[in-house]
Structure 1
């Protein structure tokens, strides 16, 4: 079952101790258990923790990477937030 998160909730998971969530194209991924295995190093994941990392992700990855690993790490989606 997929959960809905606000961007504020994702931001609360900005480091390994809190779960290290990132957003890619509206989907939320928990990467705490992947940080040390990331081929590009842990530093970049820690830098984008709790944020929308779409731009950075697509700069270095193609769609095949997301299709292969996305389902394993996806924990939900970002829900629409009311704008005042």
Structure 2
């Protein structure tokens, strides 16, 4: 879980072959094995694969949901890219 990703790295993870990753706050989560279990359906997660899903996530979930799945799904954190 200690891997650090750039947002551009996460953006390449949108398929089963590469892993299906999303960003929530500064965490990177691999939802590949969870996508079909998602109570809201796979379609919702597929829309945010490889992207920052924080806004959408917090709209429908609370801290307890994130805590419940963090150990199972979190694969790393996001490294902030330098802004010029």
TM class, shorter-length: over 0.9
Per the normalisation by structure 1, the TM-score is 0.94
> Structure 2 regions of 5+ residues with no counterpart?
none
Please identify runs of 4+ aligned residues in structure 1 that moved more than 4 A: none
Whole-angstrom distance in 2 between the partners of 1:44 and 1:70: 19
Higher strand share: 2
Distance 1:75 1:61 in 2: 20
Tell me the CA shift for residue 17 of structure 1: 3.3
TM-score (norm 2): 0.94
Give me the whole-angstrom Cα distance separating, in 2, the residues matched to 1:72 and 1:51. 19
Q: CA deviation at 1:18?
A: 2.0
- 1:22·1:49 contact (CA, 8 Å) conserved in 2? yes
More helix by share: 1
Question: Cα RMSD over matched residues?
Answer: 1.0
